[in-house]
Structure 1
C-alpha cells in the first residue's frame, strides 16, 4: 500500500485570491462592503452591542495562563514573560512588572475577538532581539479589516499572504504584503480556503435591517401624530362677493391658511390669528396607530438567538426566568468553544513560533490554557476549612497547586512545603476490618 504524502484535491473552490464555499447572495454583505455594514451594526444598535459584549466580556474576564506542557522551565518562563501571563501554579497575587513598551495580552485578546463581528482579525508579528540574542515578542500589530485588500490562498486552502491597501507616503505608494510566517490570523467559522470567515452577526443582519427601518417609521409616526396635523378651513365669504373676485379671495385665504398651518409650532409664544368663521384644528389619525413595539421586540429576540444569547430575552420572549440556567449553559458552552479556538491559534502561531525561533522545532512547546468560563470559587473560610479537614490541600503537590490556582490562593512555597512534609506525622498503615484478613 502506497502511503499518500501529497494532496491531489483542493479546497480553494474559487480558483482566485479568496474563497467562499457558499457565496454571499446579499450584495451589501459581499466582501469588502460587509465590513462597513457590520461596523455600523456593532456601533449603532443597542441589542447588537449587548450581544457582542455578552459574548466577548466573559472570555476577556477569565484567567489565561501558560501551561509548560513538558517544556523546560526556561522555555516556559520566557513564553509566559513575552505574553505577560502567569505560568500554571504561579502565585496569582504576585507583583506585576512594568508593562510599558511590552506586549499586552488583554489588548490582544480584545482585538482578536473582533473576528466575531467581522469574520477575521489579522495580526503581524513583531519581535526584538534581547541582549542574549533571543527573539522576544514585542507586539502583535493589528491589521484592521478595512485595510485588507487581498488574501492569497493556496490550492489546499492554506493561507499564503495578506495584502493591505497602499499607504500614501510622499510621492510613493506602497501596498504591504505579509507572508503567513509573519501572521497570526483568527477566523470565525472558516470553511476551506475562506480566510475571511463569517461574521457572527450575519444571521442577525436582516433582523437588524428591518428593526432599523421600523424604528425610523415609529419615530415618524410619533412625530407626525404626537401633535396632530394642522388643518385650516377658510372663512365664509359674503354672498355679495361673486365671480372672479370670489375665486381670487378664496384662493388667497387658502394660501394664507396653508402658510399659517405649515408654520405652526408649539411654545410659550405660539399662537395664530384667523378671520371670523375660519377654523384651525389639529387633526390626528382616526383609529389605532400601528404598534411597532411588538415587531421591534421580536427582531431583538432574533438578534440574541443568533449567538445563543436567549437569556437576554428573558422577561420579554418567554415571560419567565425559569429557563435562565438552561439558556446560560448553552451560551457558556459556545463561549468555551470560542476561547478554545483562540487558545489553539495562539499555541500554534505565537507560542510555537517563539519556541522555533529560539530553540528550534524539536523543543517541546508550552500551550495556552484558560479557566472554565463562568466558574467562580469564592475562597470562604468554610470552604478552605473543609478542604484542609478532608486533606485536599495536602494530598499531593499537583492537587494543591490546582486548588490554590482556582481559589486565588498564594502560590506553593517549596521550602515551606518541604518543612511541612518533614514535620507531618506518618500516616497509620491500613488495618483490616473485623472479619477480614490483612
Structure 2
C-alpha cells in the first residue's frame, strides 16, 4: 500500500440525520440563532458590527501572472460582478456576500450552483441560490470531506426532497475547526447570557407590574360568611384594574402588601449579560461607558483592534472559499490553459477614514466625551491620517503670535490666544435731576454692543479688526510664555 493512499478519515461522524446525511452536533439549531437576532437588540447590533464593515468593503479580482492579456480575469469579473443583461448572475454579488455572512450567525451557508450557457458560448453561473440552513442536512463524503447536501422543505405548498452533489454546491462554514461540516456560530457562547437576560427582563416586568398595582391583603373575622367574603374579594380584585373604588364591609380590613422587601434591581445583571454577550463575539468595546464604569479610549482602541483582526479573518475566509470553490470551477470549464484569477477584499480600515472623522467631530462637539477620550481620539486620528503633530503644534503657535502682534499694533487688547477682548467705552454719569442721577456719580465703563454701534453712539470698530479671526487654540498647543 503506497504512501499516496489515505488510510484514515477526517472529521467525526455524528449519528443521526437522514440516510447518508450527518446531523448537526450543536444543541442549538440555526432557527435558535435567528430567533436571537430577531428578539434581542444587542445581538442584532453585534451581528451588524460583524457583517456590515465587510459588506461595505471594496473588492477586486486580480489576474494571475500567467494570464498575460487578462482574458480569464475579465471573464470572471463579467460573471461575478456584472448585472444579468451584461452577462452576470441573476443575484448580485453583494447579496451573495450578505448570505455568506449569515454563517457568522448560523454556522454555515449553503449555495446551489445553477449553470447556463452564455451568449459567448461559455458555461457560466446563472445564479448562486442560497438554501435555507434550517432545511438542509449536510453529507459526509467517504474520505471524510464534504459530500453534498440533502434538503427537505415545503415551498408554495409543494414538498421538496432533493439531494445536491458537492460539485453543484458551495458550502461556506464559519468555525470549521469546531465542526467540519456545520461549523459553529459566533453567537453560541452568547446564547447562555441571552437566555438569562430575557428571564431577568421577565422578572423586571413583573416587578414593575407589582409596583404599579401593589398586592392587597383582605382580612376579617373567621366566622365571616363565604358568599360575602367572595363578593368582597371580587371587588378588591377589580380595584386598581377596571375600577378605581370598591366597597368592603366595616368588619373587613384592606391592607397593602409590602412587596418591596427583598426586591433587587435587575438592570445591573442585564447590563452584565449584555457585556458578556459582546465579549463572546469580540465586540466588547461597544459596551464601554455602560453601567457603573466608563471605559478608556486606550481600552476601546485595543478591543476595536481585536475586532478588526477578527473581521479580517472572516474576510480572508470568504476570499479562500471564492478562490477555491467558485472561480476555479468556471476557469476549468471554459479554458484549456487555466490561469486562475483571485478575489481580494481591500483593507477595511482605509474605507473607514471618513467615517472615523465624522465620528470624531460629532463626539467632540457633543460635549459628552471626557478630555482623556478626546485626547485619545485626536491622537488616533492624527496617526491614521498621517498628520505631522509637531508641525501642527508649531503652526498654531505661529498663528497665535501673529494675531497678538497685529492686535497690539492697532492698540487692541487681546486674550492669550490673540482673540480681541470686548471694547469698553467710558460713559459720563447722567447729569441734572434725572431719575438716574446720583450725587458724586463717576464716569462708568461699559462694553460696546452692536446696538450702540448701529445708533452711532460710538465709532465703528476699524475694518481691519475682523481680519483678526476669532477662535480658540487648544490648550495642549499653548506655549510656555502664554499665561
Alignment TM-score, normalising by the size of structure 1: 0.72
Which residues in structure 2 correspond to 1:33-432 (within 5 Å)? 34-70=29-65, 71=67, 72-84=69-81, 102-148=90-136, 150-165=137-152, 167=154, 174-191=160-177, 194-234=180-220, 247=223, 249-266=224-241, 270-276=244-250, 278-316=252-290, 318-322=293-297, 323-360=299-336, 362-376=337-351
Distance 1:78 1:113 in 2: 25
Distance 2:331 2:138 in 1: 27
1:242 match: none
Alignment of 1:8 onto 2:7:
yes
Instruction: Tell me the C-alpha RMSD between the 2 structures.
Output: 3.3
CA gap of 1:62–1:192, structure 2 versus 1, over 3 A, is closer
Residue aligned with 1:141, SS: strand
For the pair shown, the structure with the greater C-alpha radius of gyration is: 2
Q: Is the Cα–Cα contact under 8 Å of residues 328 and 340 in structure 2 kept in the other structure?
A: yes
1:396 match: none
After superposition, what is the alpha-carbon deviation per residue over 1:131-168, rounded to whole angstroms, capped at 9, x for unaligned? 221122221000001110x3221243311110001557
Residue aligned with 1:340, SS: helix
Structure 1 residue 127 displacement after superposition: 2.0
Residue aligned with 2:115, SS: strand
Runs of 4+ in 1 over 4 A off after TM superposition: 15-20, 96-101, 166-170
- Bigger drift between 124-133 and 342-351 goes to 124-133
Distance 1:63 1:284 in 2: 61
Q: Is the Cα–Cα contact under 8 Å of residues 58 and 374 in structure 1 kept in the other structure?
A: no
Q: Mind listing any 5+ residue stretches in structure 2 that lack a counterpart?
A: 358-384, 387-483
Distance 2:339 2:37 in 1: 41
Q: Is the Cα–Cα contact under 8 Å of residues 135 and 152 in structure 2 kept in the other structure?
A: yes
Structure 1 residue 313 displacement after superposition: 0.9
CA gap of 1:74–1:216, structure 2 versus 1, over 3 A, is same
Structure 1 residue 193 displacement after superposition: 6.9
CA gap of 1:283–1:34, structure 2 versus 1, over 3 A, is same
CA gap of 1:222–1:261, structure 2 versus 1, over 3 A, is same
Q: Is the Cα–Cα contact under 8 Å of residues 84 and 103 in structure 1 kept in the other structure?
A: no
Distance 1:312 1:179 in 2: 42
Structure 1 residue 328 displacement after superposition: 0.6
Residue aligned with 2:350, SS: coil
Distance 1:100 1:130 in 2: 9
Alignment TM-score, normalising by the size of structure 2: 0.66
Q: Is the Cα–Cα contact under 8 Å of residues 19 and 192 in structure 1 kept in the other structure?
A: no
After superposition, what is the alpha-carbon deviation per residue over 1:25-83, rounded to whole angstroms, capped at 9, x for unaligned? xxxx53xx622211211110111111111101111111111111323422111211211
CA gap of 1:339–1:227, structure 2 versus 1, over 3 A, is same
Q: Is the Cα–Cα contact under 8 Å of residues 11 and 192 in structure 1 kept in the other structure?
A: no
Distance 2:258 2:216 in 1: 9
- Matched positions, count: 350
Q: Is the Cα–Cα contact under 8 Å of residues 89 and 125 in structure 2 kept in the other structure?
A: no
Distance 2:153 2:218 in 1: 61
